[in-house]
Amino acid sequence: MPVTTKAIVISALKYGEADLIVKAYTFSDGLKTYMLKGVLKSRKGKFKASLFQPLTQLEIVAKHRGKGTMEYLQDARVAHHYENLHTDVVKSALIMFLAEVLRNSIQEEEANPPLFNYLENSFIILDQTEQIGNFHLLFLLRLSGFLGFSPEASQKDLACFNLLEGSFQEFSTNEYCIEGENLEILRRFLGINFDELSRIKLNQSSRRNFLNMLLLYYELHIEGFKKPRSLSVFNEIFS
């Protein structure tokens, strides 16, 4: 039975001469993979490759047979048209980076409406805002909550934060306990929304160090997570 659902493109990988393997996070069934035959060569086909740019928001009709299978996509259309997310050079670099993080982070083939809504709304905010310097930091920090390892913030005034345990502590107990500037930045980001980001002023070095800390946090809590290959390009553009 075909299902009609909203979906967010995570990645599109060329396969052979003309095919695409598309991973998308769907509202109805979580992460799904679709094989699109001939999409890169056919001018008269149902699908255009431009539909499957990273983080594009779609409404799709698909047959979902089960977990771990390549699914069949019957129809797709853009559900939300971004203004500049794919045309602004800096935002384009940012979404490539975020899409790679999502590809390394999301593995469940089951519905998670709160996570889908978070992604959907976050990318609309990113498209509409001009203040994007700290967006990815708050995005990753808040995403960790939907993935099950949000920092426990009830005692955020304690002396250090244990990345391994995901909690604040009175004193350091292992090599993954952070103090100093990264700790102060973490405290400032906890509990704020995207419309409050302009209050946090960070220089290039501080932003990069905090991002590296967040990526380590992901590595510690998601099996198989690797730093995005796009990180070096992303850092270059944001420098």
In this predicted model, what pLDDT tens digit does every residue of 198-214 receive, in sequence order?
A: 899 999 999 999 999 99
Percentage of the chain with pLDDT > 90? 78
Burial class (CB in 10 A: 0-12, 13-18, 19+), 89: exposed
Percentage of the chain with pLDDT > 70? 98
pLDDT in tens, 188-197: 999 899 999 9
- Is residue 46 scored above 90 in pLDDT? no
Q: What's the pLDDT score for residue 81? A: 96
Q: What's the pLDDT score for residue 58? A: 98
Which CATH architecture describes the domain 85-239? Up-down Bundle (1.20)
1-81 is classed CATH 2.40.50.140: yes
- The mean pLDDT value for 43-62 works out to 90
Domain ranges of the chain: 1-81, 85-239
- Is residue 169 scored above 80 in pLDDT? yes
For the chain, the 3-state helix, strand and coil shares in percent, each to the nearest 5, are 40, 25, 40
Q: Which helix (H) or strand (E) holds 64?
A: none
3-state secondary structure of 105: helix
- Is residue 45 scored above 70 in pLDDT? no
Amino acid symbol at 156:
K
Average the pLDDT over each of 15-19, 25-29, 122-126 and give the range with the smallest value: 15-19
Q: What's the pLDDT score for residue 4? A: 97
